[in-house]
Structure 1
Amino acid sequence: MRRQWKSCFWLSIHFASYADSVAAANPWDAYIHSPVSRYINPISAHSTVGTVTTTGPSEGQETYTLSPNSRLTFDFGVEVGGWISFSASTTNATNTSTPHLSLAFTESPSFIGPLSDDTGATTTQNHDQALNVTLPQGTTVYELPREKFRGGFRFLTLNAAQNVTVFNVTCEIGFAPKTRYLRNYPGYFWTPGDELLVRTWYAGAYTVQTNIAPQNTGRFLPQVSAGWIYNSSLGIAAPILLDGAKRDRAVWPGDLGIQGTTAFLALGADGLEAFENALETVFYYQNSSTGRFPFAGPSTGSFRSGAQSDTYHAWSLISIFNFALFVGDEAWVGTHWANITRGVEFILNGIDESGLHEQIATNDWARQGGGGYNSALNALDYHALSSIADLGRTYTNDVTVHAQAAEWAAAAETLKAEYNKILWDPQQNMYRDNQSTSLHPQDGNALALLYNLTLSPVQSSLLSVSLTRFWTPLGPVTPELPDTISPFISSIEVLAHFTALQPKRALNLTRTLWSYLLDSPLMTGSTLAEGITANGSLYYRGDAGYKKDARYTSLSHGWSTGPTAALTFKIAGLEIVGWRRWIFAPSGESLRDVKAGYQSPMGMFSVEWKSRDDVDGAFDFFAKFTTPEGTNGSIELPWKCKEVLLDGVILKSGIDIEGRRAMILQASSCT
């Protein structure tokens, strides 16, 4: 059954979207960074060092002659990844002891030079170095060996050691290997009133697209020094969703909690397939006796060393829940229900008489602190328990599953009550990191706000305000990892402010941090970085595992794409919230015109709405939205309106609405 929905879904969206793109371009197409072809040339010769002579009949067809000790850097304009090829000619007999040239790859323009970005953090900071190339005499075509796959770069530098002429430099795109037309996204977001938000949505989409990998392109361990080999298996099937384009190039459950949603919203069937293959890998490596899910995928040192994580176990369950809602496939859930049950039981076995889970395996996203009744862990556990319980109640009529769900829901409610008794600090209006510390973390508080651990709207509002204490002109500096701005945790915070009914605050944070991730001259301009320091440098985690190696920081990392989900689900407002269940709850803030849509195996979800000023400071709101047949949902407007009509009939609160095409909502005199 799963194969059937996948193939039919693929056909329905890919041929339809391609035909639509041919018929008429959309205004948001200009913001799509994906290449038009799998074989692309650089947009320019970025810079030279030494003697480089350029000849050629026209722009884009130049020939470059490099003298010994010279350097030529090409710019592809956006983050790319795959295999490089070029034509070359040599006039001297090959000196077998000295390569003709070497290749260096980098994401940031700041690191252009003779060495590649580092994909294995070491004290030498140049583990990858550059790839030596020796050419035969005469004219030849060089192709990067398949095992030398390079997952993420914008700039390619040729370092000449002998006289060499090169032309027709090409990158064969390796990411999203099953996507026929890279630019034809099934999902979209558009608001003509705020270009930055549109750019942010599409940067998130492209970031995740570059994170979808062919099977045998994982980091070889132990790593080759100097140089690199990317030919290890990433999971049990591919294409597969990884944490980053350059590195780690591995399945990480915490990342999936954000990037899996982005993959679905932007990339449709291809995104879901990659998301599913990552989850199937997590299921495959689940501990059969304890029920614990792995901390990371098999192509990581963390996996090989047996490292474990309590928080990433919970993230696995949350990602599984998200995927289940996106596909609405009862057979898929039923196939994995035993795995899901063992995963939930692992959490329940960790909850002691206090009602909370004591954190034993503290491996996480790099944060410090932790342990004890950690607030981030228990917030994740609460959401895992409550959401999987909701799934069990709704996806099937099996009374045994319903009994399980009732037990899990009760444990979640006990956890929530004790969470507030033990961890809430009324003096700070925040949750502590655990019961024995004065640290008030960004992650635990953002997760608690997002996942409804608060007990009242007043408490939610206070917590939302308190999170802004961490804000700086570049973004929140997280207390649990000093000198660090984490787009992963800040993605969670953006979503959390929407949950607290603070859309203006959520968008302020988006505009602050994501504008820097897009526009800083350190970045790729097309994808979103893993993290930065408080002053905006790329020395992310410099003293916390990355050995002050800025080249190691990934500049295309899917866990930084939370605003893509926030803009679709919260601003446009059409969100899948339960088993074949949706809600339309737009949070327009200052926006006046929004369009968004995404394709699921259940059918198309789309919405377009406008607001226009009325008399006496009020406004009118008009929306047209589509939801699939076989689903149901509700409408929640955040305003008080004189009259609300759905398809011309007065809308009564609490009504359950069956999914159907082209519903028309009109609200008048709203304040």
Structure 2
Amino acid sequence: MMGYKGTTAFLFYFVSFWLCDFGVCEVKKGWPGPWEKYIRAPENKRRIEPRKIWKTEGDVQVRTDDGKELVIIKEGAWVTWEFDENISGRACLIVEDTPGGLTEVNLAYSESYLFAGPIPDATTDRQARDLPLPLRIPKQKGKVCVGKEFVRGAFKYFTVHLPSSDHQENSPQTWLQSVWQTSQKTLFGTKPHKKKKQIAISSVWVNCTSFPSQGNNGRAAYTGYFSSSSHLLNQIWYAGAYTLQLGTIDPREGGALIDYNRIVDHNDSPTGSWYSNFTISGGTSVTTDGAKRDRMVWPGDMFIAIPSIAVSTSDYLSIRNALEIIFTNQYPDGRLPYAGPPMGVTANREFSDTYHLHTLLGVHSYVLWSGDLPFLDKIWPQYLFALHHSLSLVDDLSLVHVTSTADWLRPGMTGHNLEASALLHTVLSRSATLATWLGHTTPPIWPSTQKTLETGLARLYCPELGLFSDNIGARSCYPSKDQGYAPILPQDGNSWLLISRANLTPSGLPFRSPKSRFRSPTPLPNGPPTRGGISKLLRGRWVKHGAPCPEFPNTISPFASGFELLGHVYSGEVDTAVELMLLEWGWLVNGDGFNNGSTLAEGYRIDGDVQYPAYPSRARNSLAHGWASGPTWVLTQWVLGVEITKPGGEEVEVKVWRVRTRGGSGKGLVWEIRAEGGTKGTVMGYKVKGEERGVFLLREGEDGERVERLGLGVVRVVGEDEESWYKNVVVEYQGEEWVFDETWKEPEMEEREQGAVDWDVMERYFKTPVPEGWDISWLKEGRDM
């Protein structure tokens, strides 16, 4: 059907709503169509086989024996298999023979081809690469799998390596062995003959353990669909959805950060080792930060991840378990942990002012989409306690005074902060909505604090630059006498300012910091701040591979850029948001070193390299990180135009940007609704006349009833075809016809300069310190490790 602002994109969305009992919402798969080819999830997650041998090194033979393909690997050699998609789970082999007395092989995993081979990529943060995983091989032939504690979170490349036994020459021996070898050398002048070890493997597969609450068929788990005339937008939507599936795990399979786990489980696992057996929440399924590492509950993901899960798989059970573990470990002063166990359960009491607020936003998103009001009622006292803590941080400068440095690994998170203040403004609006859903009144302090924050936020405006600075102080446009002029105009904070819908120009404000000796120029060079102006200036900073975040030098972050997407759409600039998706997420899908678009990465370097600048090791970047899934939500709610306005879909609003009748551009959608009582109907078409809105019923439900409470009318449809129905359907309504518009073209992307890496700043801001004696010259030279 018709797309946004005259696009020809056909946009399709299906979702079913039921009451959520005991935290579990029943869902139902939609109907098949051309969009299914974009789904990346496996059809049978219990047995995922590689598509090919990607690379071999050393003495390796591949032959067919009795109709069975055998891969024979000899000492010192290795084989790497490549899977169709980034996957996760327990690796298994069928071993046919082990000549030479082989008892063990080494396994290695990698999400990117850049790190594929006998040394794994990285999950831990104490060295550049993980240790290979030893796998004991029994004497008898047959199946052998890694232990349940060694589920690998995400990988596309899997390697079996037989290390050379030469290093065992000096290993401890019995006295008899030593005498025998010495006598052979003396008598015959040669080393004793020793048969080389080898292994013959007839099959390799992975038992995927991700998305445990969604069944064995990951494709059938989809309750939401998206399809458009843009191949790249389709790829991006489904890559986000599948990323969230891989990051949804059995709570007993958390872990990988063994140093943190040690605080609780007292493990003695060596540096560079890893495992996935730490229990991170209650229940049977939980959504986490990333698939490969950070397999924990991280509240920072929730604002983006929860709606993206809702529009794709509706896995509300996993969301609820994630929220519950954070509130279960709420600190005595009302603060919420920075992350779930092992963080937040020890005397360390890790805390982030911003992630604390993200948890509260997560509650709103979960209740809005799931309709789980009993959960909200249960935690409401804790919610208010947590909100009160943030309110107490608003001081006489009318801003949130941040004392925690923790955020999304970006530096500079202290002081009177823009991002935290705009976040609190947003939380207060959504808290008022939550209170209404529970039948409570809004405390007067909430709207009054929002007005106070607007006064403070205005003090961070930089008139010469047209954007808002990070905080009052060294990163401000109004430095103190002992500070140089080096303003930081953050991507996250300015985006959140747009999302918050705060009043950008409260009356009578000087637009200057009260701590500064400088005064604002008159008139203001860029005029007073406007949403459209901020959106335009953010767009003007884009480079070849996406939107840089000045608050974290050298970095392009799909997390912060997810906020920017939302900032643009909240400002009415939907075209700008779509253009950013094509630019930045297009690189995540097609860029070198990622994984061919099956999942979305945590971040990358400003020059497009796969390294995430928070870590010295390029191999540590997570290529399946839920916080990167923003387009999945944004495409559904702002481009397709389906917005849930009351819990559980009791009320739905459909929005468009431009509509015309037959022969011109327009907006259309298909949407199946299940309302209370089982009434079903399919909606197609939408039009706007001034402020008037109308939604049309294409087909009535099986019982012939119309879903009157959702405001549906009746239409007549002609020319429907099963294969290309979205092109052939004509919807007639009150003398007007609705048709598929084929005139839309993707925007022509501007030629932008590639971002340049500031290596001095890069090394200064590594959040994980470079270990002593670790040579990182390979980073600057662009060499692979």
Length-normalised TM-score, structure 2: 0.72
Q: CA deviation at 1:454?
A: 4.4
Q: Which moved more, 1:622-631 or 1:62-71?
A: 622-631
1:537-552 matches, within 5 Å, as 537-541=609-613, 544=614, 546=615, 548-552=616-620
- Calculate the aligned-residue CA RMSD, in Å: 3.1
Q: Which residue of 2 aligns with 1:297?
A: 340
- Select between 202-211 and 36-45 the one with higher mean Cα deviation: 36-45
* Corresponding residue for residue 655 of structure 2: 585
Displacement after TM superposition at 1:234 (Å): 1.0
After TM superposition, give the deviation of residue 470 of structure 1 in Å: 2.4
Residues 1:113 and 2:157 aligned together: no
Q: CA deviation at 1:426?
A: 2.5
Question: Which amino acid in 2 is paired with 1:115?
Answer: I
In the alignment, is the contact (CA less than 8 A) between 2:303 and 2:362 conserved in 1? yes
Q: Deviations over 1:55-102 (max 9, x none)?
A: 23799x52101111111111111011110111113343536xxx5421
| Structure with the bigger percentage of strand | 1
**Deviation at residue 577 of structure 1 after TM alignment:** 3.5
Residues 40-51 of structure 1 correspond to what in structure 2 (within 5 A)?
A: 40-51=48-59
Identify which range, 135-144 or 372-381, moves more after superposition.
135-144
Q: Matches of 2:96 and 2:117 in 1, distance apart?
A: 23
CA distance in 1, matches of 2:232, 2:451: 40
Distance in 2 between the 1:644 and 1:278 partners?
37
* 1:103-134 deviation per Cα after TM superposition (whole angstroms, max 9, x unaligned): 00000011111111111112x312x2211223
What letter corresponds to residue 141 of structure 1 in structure 2?
K
Contact 2:18 2:674 (C-alpha < 8 Å) held by counterparts: no
Matches of 1:157 and 1:494 in 2, distance apart?
Answer: 38
For residue 87 of structure 1, what is the amino acid of its counterpart?
I
The match for 2:306 among 227, 248, 260 is: 260
Moved more, 313-322 or 43-52: 43-52
Please tell me whether the aligned partners of residues 19 and 25 of structure 2 are also in contact (alpha carbons under 8 angstroms).
Answer: no
- The one-letter code matched in structure 1 to 2:61 is T
Per-residue displacement from partner, 1:255-283 (whole Å, max 9, x unpaired)? 12211221111111xx2111110000111
Higher helix share: 1
- State the distance in 2 between where 1:463 and 1:8 align: 40
- Equivalents in 2 of 1:507, 1:321: separation in Å? 25
Partner of 1:519: 590
Q: Given residue 88 of structure 1, which amino acid in structure 2 is its aligned partner? A: V
Task: Report 1:455-494 matches (<5 A).
Answer: 455=504, 459-494=530-565
Q: 1:487 to 1:623 in 2, by over 3 A?
A: closer
Aligned partners of 2:343, 2:694: CA distance in 1, in Å? 54
Verify the 8 A CA contact 1:446 1:492 in the aligned structure 2: yes
Match of 2:451 in 1: 413
Partner amino acid, structure 2, of 1:113: G
Instruction: Write the deviation string for residues 296-342 of structure 1: whole angstroms up to 9, x where unpaired.
Output: 11135997732211001111101111111112233221111101110
**Match of 2:201, SS?**
strand
1:178 aligns with 2:185: no
Q: What is the deviation of 1:550?
A: 0.9
- Give the number of the structure whose alpha-carbon radius of gyration is greater: 2
CA distance in 1, matches of 2:578, 2:65: 48
Number of equivalenced pairs: 607
What is the rounded CA distance, in whole Å, between the counterparts of 1:338 and 1:567 in structure 2?
Answer: 34
Structure 1 position 659 matched with structure 2 position 710: yes
- Residue 150 of structure 2 corresponds to residue 148 of structure 1: yes
TM-score under structure 1 length normalisation: 0.84
Instruction: Tell me, yes or no, if the aligned pair for 1:311 and 1:362 is still in contact at 8 Å.
Output: no
> Which residue pairs with 1:335 in the alignment?
378
Give the CA deviation at 1:661: 5.8
Distance in 2 between residues matched to 1:58 and 1:424, nearest whole Å: 75
Query: How far, CA to CA, are the matches of 1:435 and 1:626 in structure 2?
Result: 49
**Counterpart Cα distance in 2 of 1:638 and 1:385:** 33
Give unpaired runs (5+ residues) of structure 1. Answer: 589-609, 649-656
Alpha carbons of structure 1 residues 316 and 620: separation in structure 2 relative to 1, 3 Å = closer
What residue identity is the alignment partner of 1:419? L
Residue by residue over 1:144-187, the C-alpha shift from the partner in whole angstroms, topping out at 9 and shown as x without a partner, is 00111111111100112331111221100010112223111443
Report how far residue 669 of structure 1 moved. 11
Equivalent position amino acid for 2:89 in 1: G
Q: Tell whether the 8 Å contact from 2:588 to 2:601 is kept in structure 1 after alignment.
A: yes
Q: Establish whether residue 73 from structure 1 lines up as the match of residue 102 from structure 2.
A: no
Match of 1:204 in 2: 240
Name the CA distance, whole Å, in 2 between partners of 1:557 and 1:341. Answer: 30
**2:297 corresponds to:** 251
Sort the Cα spacing of 1:583 and 1:460 in 2 relative to 1 into closer, same or farther, 3 A: same
Preserved CA contact (<8 Å) 2:467 2:489: yes
Secondary structure at the counterpart of residue 563 of structure 2: helix
**CA offsets per residue over residues 581-637 of structure 1, 9 Å max, x none?**
43211347xxxxxxxxxxxxxxxxxxxxx96664xxx64555565656579xxxx99
Distance (Å, rounded) in 2 between the aligned partners of 1:662 and 1:169:
55
Name the amino acid aligned to 1:428. L
Structure 2 counterpart SS, 1:167 = strand
Q: Distance in 2 between matches of 1:215 and 1:620?
A: 45
Correspondences of 1:628-647 after superposition (within 5 Å): 629=675
Give the AA of the match of 1:484. Answer: T
Task: Return the match for 1:501 from 549, 565, 572.
Answer: 572
Other structure's SS at 1:62 match: strand
Matched, 1:555 2:623: yes
Paired residue type of 1:215: P
Which residue identity does 1:174 align to in structure 2?
A: T
Match of 2:462 in 1: 425
Who is 1:450 aligned against?
499
Task: Determine helix, strand or coil for the equivalent of 2:153.
Answer: strand
Task: Percent identity, please.
Answer: 27
Give the 3 Å change call, closer, same or farther, for CA 9–314 of structure 1 in structure 2.
closer
| Separation in structure 2 between the aligned mates of residue 145 and residue 303 of structure 1, nearest angstrom | 28
1:214 equivalent among 250, 257, 271: 250
Query: How far did residue 380 of structure 1 move?
Result: 0.7
2:635 is the alignment partner of 1:567:
yes
Q: Which amino acid aligns with 2:283?
A: A
Between the aligned partners of 2:711 and 2:451, the Cα distance in structure 1 is 35
Letter in 2 for 1:175: S
C-alpha deviations, 1:442-480, integer Å up to 9, x for none? Answer: 110011112212437970000001112321010011101
The separation in 2 between residues aligned to 1:67 and 1:363, in whole angstroms, is 48
CA distance in structure 2 between the aligned counterparts of 1:554 and 1:206, rounded to whole angstroms = 14
Instruction: Give, in whole Å, the separation in 1 of the partners of 2:691 and 2:373.
Output: 41
- The aligned amino acid for 1:205 is A
**Is 2:537 the counterpart of 1:535?**
no
* Secondary structure of 1:530 counterpart: coil
Contact 1:216 1:233 in 2 (8 A): yes
**SS at 2:565 equivalent:** helix
Distance 1:669 1:178 in 2: 43
Match of 1:92 in 2: 99
Question: How much does 1:515 deviate?
Answer: 0.9
**What is the rounded CA distance, in whole Å, between the counterparts of 1:624 and 1:368 in structure 2?**
44
Letter of the 2:198 counterpart:
N
Counterparts of 2:66 and 2:644 in 1: how far apart (Å)? 51
| Cα distance between partner residues in 1 of 2:431 and 2:311 | 21
Distance 1:91 1:110 in 2: 30
In structure 2, list runs of 5 or more residues that go unmatched: 1-16, 164-196, 263-268, 477-486, 506-527, 678-684, 698-707, 716-730, 739-785
Distance 1:623-1:554 versus aligned 2 partners, 3 A rule: closer
Map 1:265-414 to 2 at 5 A: 265-268=311-314, 271-287=315-331, 289-300=332-343, 305-392=348-435, 394-397=436-439, 401-404=440-443, 406-414=444-452
* Counterpart-to-counterpart distance in 2, 1:574 and 1:511: 21
For residue 125 of structure 2, what is the amino acid of its counterpart? Answer: A
> Where do residues 13-28 of structure 1 align in structure 2 (5 Å cutoff)?
13-14=27-28, 17=29, 25-28=32-35
Quote the offset at 1:377 in angstroms.
0.4
Give the Å deviation of 1:647. Answer: 5.1
Closer/same/farther in 2, CA of residues 464 and 663 from structure 1, 3 Å limit: farther
Could you tell me which residue of structure 2 aligns to residue 601 of structure 1?
Answer: none
- The DSSP-based 3-state class of the residue aligned with 1:101 is strand
Distance 1:137 1:58 in 2: 22
